[in-house]
Amino acid sequence: MRYLTAGESHGKQLTTIIEGVPSHLPITQEQINDSLRRRQGGHGRGKRMQIEKDTADMTGGIRHGYTLGSPISLVIHNDDFKHWTDIMGEDPFPEGKNIRRTVSRPRPGHADLNGGMKYGHRDLRNVLERSSARETAARVAAGAVAKVMLEELGIKVAGYVREIAGIVSPFDESMSIEERIEKSHASPVNTLDDETTEEMKKAIDDAKKDGDSIGGVAEVYVEGMPAGLGSYVQYDKKLDAKIGFSVMSINAFKGVEFGIGFEAAKRNGSEVHDEIGWDEERGYYRKTNRLGGFEGGMTTGMPIVVKGVMKPIPTLYKPLQSVDIESKEPFSASIERSDSCAVPAASVVMEHVVAFEIAKAISEEFPSDYFPRLKEALDNYREEVRNF
Amino acid sequence: MRYLTAGESHGKQLTTIIEGVPSHLPITQEQINDSLRRRQGGHGRGKRMQIEKDTADMTGGIRHGYTLGSPISLVIHNDDFKHWTDIMGEDPFPEGKNIRRTVSRPRPGHADLNGGMKYGHRDLRNVLERSSARETAARVAAGAVAKVMLEELGIKVAGYVREIAGIVSPFDESMSIEERIEKSHASPVNTLDDETTEEMKKAIDDAKKDGDSIGGVAEVYVEGMPAGLGSYVQYDKKLDAKIGFSVMSINAFKGVEFGIGFEAAKRNGSEVHDEIGWDEERGYYRKTNRLGGFEGGMTTGMPIVVKGVMKPIPTLYKPLQSVDIESKEPFSASIERSDSCAVPAASVVMEHVVAFEIAKAISEEFPSDYFPRLKEALDNYREEVRNF
Amino acid sequence: MRYLTAGESHGKQLTTIIEGVPSHLPITQEQINDSLRRRQGGHGRGKRMQIEKDTADMTGGIRHGYTLGSPISLVIHNDDFKHWTDIMGEDPFPEGKNIRRTVSRPRPGHADLNGGMKYGHRDLRNVLERSSARETAARVAAGAVAKVMLEELGIKVAGYVREIAGIVSPFDESMSIEERIEKSHASPVNTLDDETTEEMKKAIDDAKKDGDSIGGVAEVYVEGMPAGLGSYVQYDKKLDAKIGFSVMSINAFKGVEFGIGFEAAKRNGSEVHDEIGWDEERGYYRKTNRLGGFEGGMTTGMPIVVKGVMKPIPTLYKPLQSVDIESKEPFSASIERSDSCAVPAASVVMEHVVAFEIAKAISEEFPSDYFPRLKEALDNYREEVRNF
Amino acid sequence: MRYLTAGESHGKQLTTIIEGVPSHLPITQEQINDSLRRRQGGHGRGKRMQIEKDTADMTGGIRHGYTLGSPISLVIHNDDFKHWTDIMGEDPFPEGKNIRRTVSRPRPGHADLNGGMKYGHRDLRNVLERSSARETAARVAAGAVAKVMLEELGIKVAGYVREIAGIVSPFDESMSIEERIEKSHASPVNTLDDETTEEMKKAIDDAKKDGDSIGGVAEVYVEGMPAGLGSYVQYDKKLDAKIGFSVMSINAFKGVEFGIGFEAAKRNGSEVHDEIGWDEERGYYRKTNRLGGFEGGMTTGMPIVVKGVMKPIPTLYKPLQSVDIESKEPFSASIERSDSCAVPAASVVMEHVVAFEIAKAISEEFPSDYFPRLKEALDNYREEVRNF
């Protein structure tokens, strides 16, 4: 499985092509739209979320509610494009007319300046239209297809917020994934605890009032994985590294960790590793899960637990110093309508990119043309592993 | 640039093939051996480091002290193999004889059990021989070639230890890279501060005495990068994610972060982003470097600062519970000769895998057949960026 | 540069996402439509070509007539989809209703049977909708972008027909590429000779009358290539092999050859190789071009000459024996509306896939973010090669 | 499965690393050596073949006669290197000394000139050492591993000569693969017919006497393939194109065709396509095999039949005109010891590169970690296809 996305933030549409999804997987538009809707929710989102009501048009690879094995193409139309046609249109610009809303002032923390240099764009809108986190909608669409596939294979994926602006959600590690999903869906900040929800909402509101922005930590939790996905035999086959890559590739993410992660630097080995147990029914299991479901680049069969940190979104009402690329004069970075906190949405994005990476790993290690064949092979493998 | 490694821990040799290095890059065996030697150093290494004195035999792609543009092959022979020929030999085992030193007891925290299930190995030696961190020597060899190339392009890479067992090395962020390199090379634990060096040494000795192991945090610092390497246009082109991948793929690494990393979850946006300045001489610059040299998946031209966390090595003298895969009986995980702390060595490995990733990025974005052509193109680009 | 396509023959649309095109390349919709139009022309096309008037909607990556460096997405809508919504719709099919136009009779020479087995499709329409040559329109769109880029770099690509049903077009090897383009565009069978045009038209008409189909040979000719593209250093870097791959991947192509190709099996070496000359003005050149522009997997700087053979399209009016997959009864393969000869169209497809492969090679070996930078680097390299 | 090779013609050794071979595949050094030996045979080979007696040292990934699932590394030592140490040594050349046997005279038909330009080599030995067909020994080693795997899966691969210098071997298409293998192994020119063998030997001797060289056509025939390998869903998944790529990447190959290949341009569709039959025992089959085992980029289950054309080797005793790159003076291309015909050896190389591509395709579509699991999955799939 692989995918490419295309489309600019204020362009006509976002497009995703996903290649390698097995045939005969049941799927509906509603399942994808549900994921898109969750990405758009969250306390503290700016006005744009109200303008866009993302839905995915299925334009290839799906027929009568089933995948064909052909590439799947999904389109998220931008209903607001009609107001942007002269700014973002594809046809050569009429001579003598001026392009509106050009940008010569790079915002700190954004791709604007580096992207301008790299691609030779002096109108930095040419950068920001693509580097915008708007693109994550197209990635969520790809991940939504992956989630449907995983669900059919008995693999559940939950994404939620663990921390915002230093407020850490306490939670019971033994909480079931169903409860994690239910609680996070019910929380306007996508976290697992009612009290923390209120604190986080307040922190978001306060940041907004101050013209500042705040970041946080999202966690993805995956249950139902077979042991032995990924590999140690070559450095580029380690599945935790692949998942780490995909988390790090989300806009504004600055770090990733598995299980206890950076905490492992402070503990003794005897308090880090997970002892191995066995019983007739379950086969092998770990008594704890500090390593977050991975040993040697492979799944252990325990839940995958991965955290990613998102920096505060850089589009601030409280201005930062920058330099106009034409005049070379300093200025205070421009105020655009913006959210003060995007961590709840980012936790949904992270859930979906991790789901894609896992579905991809499965499709690479099991027969992945025809879904029932894949499912049977995975079931056989699970049995084999249980009896090892 | 790409590379593959092969070889088992107690096998004949480790082999690395590196493809895509430009021709006419001056390089000597001593440069590679120097990197290999640094990987083997460090207070608290077990006896094996004394047995192996790694050197790289250049068996392809280099002639008269210059690269040919052909694939480079490097071999690290295992001098101890003579004692392992009947255990690790490639020929079919004589019938009736028993293989010595088979392993049926998976160690917690290692690839043993998951690898056995995946590849159907009931003698878990078939797993541990390849999953061993011994393989990182082959990766260091590849990184050493990359470092030579970067050095010629005016890009310096330093790797050192920031934390061991909760002991965090204080240091001056404005310290020059030359000083970082000098200090870390002088420290037996590869860190930047004399007092911390002593504390870390003691922690390592204490852990050894207790039969326990300890982990830590390594940091890689890269200076001289042009702005605009990597890209935001597609999720899989982000250079920080690629570097993150390569760090996460090092044995026993559980997390990675850029700049202030996870700390970004606790700060306001105004205290996270780096303001942009400009002056005639330098062109654009950032007033701080909290984002660790990356915005929008691209380099900013500021130093790259990336940290990785290594868990305590799981081969413990203090035993953990596990299960024999034949008898299904519980046992206390086997004691093998082992280091109690591998973080100093891991910081050298991390330095080299990051160097490779950066050299790869440069070779993908600039003409990379003939080194003088690459150097000229990079110089021109730097000038272009300075005048943007 | 890379691309993916999606879409079914009677589905809503074809979609192409092209990644890695440099920014600031001037491009218009008309340039792409022109290529699409040429694919649809040609004597002897069936009725479907009249129904579809392919045009490409630019839905990402292009703004005000220039590429952004972002992925380019192109959409070819299927105007006829309104008649196919219940047959090809994406929503689950209402229970109790029967799907019309299901296919249980695999056509010899098509993907029908093998695809059905692989993907578990018992309605073979699920195969033929994607395996149809209709998809080549999406590939031509990708190639059209490549051609625009090559044109700006002084590289011209011509595709034309050399043979249909054994009728071989005679032509002067010294004919300029401009003339090749002009003549082939003027010929309704896309060949270079008036008399042959008439013979080929007649052969096509005769085949149609007989309810049979005929194949032929297309040739692509590329002028303006610098020497040294591709490489001998690793088997998977040979540019002729890459071009060969892309030709072989066109529907119904069964062979590919460069220069004199299979004729080389019959000649002495002294009559195969191209002697090397040099003069001050041109630098190095070959006195002949029997090797079709390649030595050692690299361009020689001479024109690239590559031929591909297309089998007669298998959708025949003259039926072939096959077996119904439900009843296992033999039948005579179903008659669908069809062309009797698709070679003229295929020569346009081949021209575009070869163009893409060449543009890709250039973008991999030269700096490919910003088009003016790429152009300058290529110009410098040409000068360097001339002075070697 | 993937592989990289390294090593120069007169360097220390050739190295191959093969990644992705399943564990628990039984394999011996003798199986690989047998392939290497066959590559070195053939009437009309030059003296070098007597100097080199290629054998593969297994330096990783194999233990006690079985694959480990780890990367396999194979080394072919160059016993003659002792005579080349000062010419090909890796250490910087002592100042004041002159390098012997430098090359400033590019040979027509070789990579010499284009490679020199690309990599900036003025001593063209730096090119020819790697572009030499000597490297195909490393590819044969990779293919030998693939062949062992295929054999265990009931897939047989034969490679033989069909034509040399216009002499075409007549043969019975219904000849069994066992007979093809036996006959070709017995023929000193690796062909299938005794009379032709004598004619070809004479042609080779005559060419040698004339100081000329001759080319020919090799064919690879694969039996036991399941239907449905490869795919039509994306252009880069077509298995025939992948095989075509790998054939085109063999040194001196100028064309490739499947089944009747270029002949398809001359026949009516009704004489090209293969009618489909079915019976209880075999399931579906084709009544003929003109398409060489492929429809829609997928295997049909019929034997794969692929031909490749090799140009006469360009190292001629009969000189061709070229230009000295230092003096720019014309000269008659240098005479090196050389074979007059390498087609028999090339047919062995082709057999092995095709085998690798097929094993790779299987390892991508079936579970490929543990060989017994792969074998069972393939057997189940074959049964499924038979009952479709």
The side-by-side arrangement of strands in the sheet containing D13-19 is D2-6, D13-19, D72-77, D56-60
Does an H or E element contain B163, and which?
strand B156-164
Whether B110 sits inside 8 A of A295 (CB atoms) is yes
Which tokens hold the place of B66?
């210059």
A300 has pLDDT over 80: yes
**Residues C91, C94: Cα–Cα separation, whole Å:** 9
Binning pLDDT at 50, 70 and 90, where does residue A319 land?
Answer: confident
Q: Give the gap in angstroms from C-alpha D31 to the nearest C-alpha of chain B.
A: 12
Which tokens hold the place of A25?
């997987």
Does an H or E element contain D4, and which?
strand D2-6
Mapped onto helix, strand or coil, the DSSP state of residue B364 is helix
Q: Give the gap in angstroms from C-alpha B64 to the nearest C-alpha of chain D.
A: 4
Place of tokens 């020059």: B176
Write down the pLDDT at residue D172: 87
Mapped onto helix, strand or coil, the DSSP state of residue C255 is strand
Write down the pLDDT at residue A67: 98
Chain D residues with beta carbon closer than 8 angstroms to that of B102: none
Which residue of A5, A22, A126 is in closest CB contact with C68?
A126
Domains of chain A in sequence order: 2-386 (3.60.150.10)
Write down the pLDDT at residue A48: 56
Q: Give the gap in angstroms from C-alpha B37 to the nearest C-alpha of chain A.
A: 21
Query: Which residues in chain D come in under a pLDDT of 50?
Result: none
DSSP for C3-59, written as a single string = EEEE--TTSSEEEEEEE-PPBT-B--HHHHHHHHHHHH--TT--THHHH----EEEE
Exposed/middle/buried for residue A326 (C-beta within 10 Å: 0-12, 13-18, 19+): exposed
**Residues B296, B301: Cα–Cα separation, whole Å:** 13
Which tokens hold the place of D288?
């003929």
Closest Cα in chain A to D229: A369
Residue C28 · residue A91 · CB < 8 Å: yes
Which tens digits make up the pLDDT trace of C20-37?
Answer: 999 999 999 999 999 999
Q: Which chains touch D (3 or more CB pairs under 8 A)?
A: A, B, C
User: Is B114 annotated among the ligand-binding residues?
Assistant: no
Which tens digits make up the pLDDT trace of A157-169?
Answer: 999 999 999 999 9
Q: Give the gap in angstroms from C-alpha D332 to the nearest C-alpha of chain B.
A: 27
Whether A60 sits inside 8 A of C91 (CB atoms) is no
Question: Measuring CA to CA, which residue among A338, A330, A345, A328 is closest to residue A188?
Answer: A345
Q: How large is the average pLDDT for residues A166-193? A: 95
φ, ψ of residue A158 to 5 degrees: the values are -120, 140
Name every residue in A having a CB less than 8 A away from some CB of D: 19, 69-71, 228, 231, 233-234, 364-369, 373, 377, 381, 384
Q: Which chains touch A (3 or more CB pairs under 8 A)?
A: B, C, D
Whether B254 sits inside 8 A of A249 (CB atoms) is no
Which residue of B13, B17, B118 is in closest CB contact with D369?
B118
User: Is A45 annotated among the ligand-binding residues?
Assistant: yes
**Residues B258, B238: Cα–Cα separation, whole Å:** 13
**Residues C93, B240: Cα–Cα separation, whole Å:** 45
Q: Give the gap in angstroms from C-alpha D92 to the nearest C-alpha of chain C.
A: 22
Between strands A62-63 and A56-60, the pairing is unpaired
Write down the pLDDT at residue A15: 98
Mean pLDDT lowest for which of A71-75, A212-216, B49-53, C225-229?
Answer: B49-53
Write down the pLDDT at residue B39: 96
Q: Which chains touch C (3 or more CB pairs under 8 A)?
A: A, B, D
CA distances from residue D179 to C112, C214, D176, D303, D371 in whole angstroms, order as listed: 33, 35, 5, 15, 28
DSSP C83: G
Q: What is the mean pLDDT of chain D?
A: 94
Write down the pLDDT at residue D173: 87
Residue C247 · residue D303 · CB < 8 Å: no
Which residue of C69, C228, C233 is in closest CB contact with B233?
C69
Write down the pLDDT at residue C49: 57
Whether A92 sits inside 8 A of C28 (CB atoms) is yes
Question: Measuring CA to CA, which residue among C110, C364, C276, C266 is closest to residue D255?
Answer: C266
Q: Give the gap in angstroms from C-alpha D360 to the nearest C-alpha of chain A.
A: 13
Q: Identify any residues that bridge with D62 across adjacent strands, giving them in sequence order.
A: D67
Which tens digits make up the pLDDT trace of A241-278?
Answer: 999 999 999 999 999 999 999 999 999 998 999 999 99
Write down the pLDDT at residue C329: 95
User: Is C2 annotated among the ligand-binding residues?
Assistant: no
Mapped onto helix, strand or coil, the DSSP state of residue B234 is coil
Write down the pLDDT at residue C8: 98
**Residues C105, C3: Cα–Cα separation, whole Å:** 33
Place of tokens 């293989």: B99
Cα C373 off chain centre by: 29
DSSP for B31-74, written as a single string = HHHHHHHHHH--TT--THHHH----EEEEESEETTEE-SSPEEE
**Residues B256, B262: Cα–Cα separation, whole Å:** 9
Which tokens hold the place of D1?
């499965």
User: Is C241 annotated among the ligand-binding residues?
Assistant: no
Which tokens hold the place of C184?
């082939």
Which residue of C71, C234, C373 is in closest CB contact with B233?
C71
Select the residue from A369, A383, A388 to test the D interface by mutation, using most D Cβ atoms within 10 A.
A369
Whether A69 sits inside 8 A of D233 (CB atoms) is yes
For chain C, 388 residues long, give each residue's pLDDT as a single digit of tens.
999 999 999 999 999 999 999 999 999 999 999 999 999 988 877 655 555 689 999 999 999 999 999 999 999 999 999 999 999 999 998 888 888 889 999 999 999 999 999 999 999 999 999 999 999 999 999 999 999 999 999 999 999 999 999 999 998 889 999 999 999 999 999 999 999 999 999 999 999 888 889 999 999 999 999 999 999 999 999 999 999 999 999 999 999 999 999 999 999 998 999 999 999 999 999 999 999 999 999 999 999 999 999 999 876 667 789 999 999 999 986 565 567 899 999 999 999 999 999 999 999 999 999 999 999 999 999 999 999 9
List, in order, residues 6 or more apart from D257 with CB less than 8 Å away.
Answer: C254, C255, C256, C257, C262, C309, D292, D306, D307
Assign 3-class secondary structure to chain A. Answer: CEEEEECCCCCCEEEEEEECCCECCECCHHHHHHHHHHHHCCCCCCCHHHHCCCCEEEEECEECCEECCCCEEEEEECHHHHHCHHHHCCCCCCCCCCCCCCCCCCCCCCCHHHHHHHHCCCCCHHHHHHHCHHHHHHHHHHHHHHHHHHHHCCCEEEEEEEEECCEECCCCCCCCHHHHHHHHHHCCCCECCHHHHHHHHHHHHHHHHCCCCECEEEEEEEECCCCCCCCCCCHHHCHHHHHHHHHHCCCCEEEEEECCHHHHHCCEHHHCCCCEEEECCCEEEECCCCCCCEECCEECCCCEEEEEEECCCCCCCCCCEEECCCCCCEEECCCCCCCCCCHHHHHHHHHHHHHHHHHHHHHHHCCCCEHHHHHHHHHHHHHHHHCC
Which residue of D233, D381, D384 is in closest CB contact with A70?
D233
DSSP D191: B
Whether A120 sits inside 8 A of C370 (CB atoms) is yes
Write down the pLDDT at residue D314: 79
User: Is C51 annotated among the ligand-binding residues?
Assistant: no
Q: How large is the average pLDDT for residues A51-79? A: 94
**Residues A246, D89: Cα–Cα separation, whole Å:** 43
Which residue of A7, A73, A121 is in closest CB contact with C60?
A7
Exposed/middle/buried for residue A217 (C-beta within 10 Å: 0-12, 13-18, 19+): buried
List, in order, residues 6 or more apart from C384 with CB less than 8 Å away.
Answer: B373, D117
Query: In chain B, helix, strand, coil percent, each to 5?
Result: 40, 20, 40
**∠B183-B186-B190 over CA atoms, to 5°?**
75
Select the residue from C8, C16, C64, C373 to test the A interface by mutation, using most A Cβ atoms within 10 A.
C64
List, in order, residues 6 or more apart from B29 with CB less than 8 Å away.
Answer: B55, B56, B57, B58, D90, D91
Q: Give the gap in angstroms from C-alpha C64 to the nearest C-alpha of chain D.
A: 31
For chain B, 388 residues long, give each residue's pLDDT as a single digit of tens.
999 999 999 999 999 999 999 999 999 999 999 999 999 988 877 655 555 689 999 999 999 999 999 999 999 999 999 999 999 999 998 888 888 889 999 999 999 999 999 999 999 999 999 999 999 999 999 999 999 999 999 999 999 999 999 999 998 889 999 999 999 999 999 999 999 999 999 999 999 888 889 999 999 999 999 999 999 999 999 999 999 999 999 999 999 999 999 999 999 998 999 999 999 999 999 999 999 999 999 999 999 999 999 999 876 667 789 999 999 999 986 565 567 899 999 999 999 999 999 999 999 999 999 999 999 999 999 999 999 9
ipTM at complex level: 0.97
Whether D58 sits inside 8 A of B90 (CB atoms) is yes
Q: Identify any residues that bridge with B219 across adjacent strands, giving them in sequence order.
A: B160, B307
**Residues A137, B76: Cα–Cα separation, whole Å:** 47
Cα D250 off chain centre by: 6
Q: What is the Cα gyration radius of chain B?
A: 22
User: Is B251 annotated among the ligand-binding residues?
Assistant: yes
Question: Measuring CA to CA, which residue among A311, A300, A3 is closest to residue A139?
Answer: A3
Question: Measuring CA to CA, which residue among A221, A245, A220 is closest to residue A235?
Answer: A245
**∠C297-C300-C303 over CA atoms, to 5°?**
110
Residue B289: half-sphere exposure toward Cβ, Cα within 13 Å: 19
Whether D320 sits inside 8 A of C270 (CB atoms) is yes
Select the residue from A21, A77, A126, A131 to test the C interface by mutation, using most C Cβ atoms within 10 A.
A126
Write down the pLDDT at residue C93: 85
A292 Rama class: left (phi>0) / alpha (psi -120 to 50) / beta? left
Residue C11 · residue C130 · CB < 8 Å: no
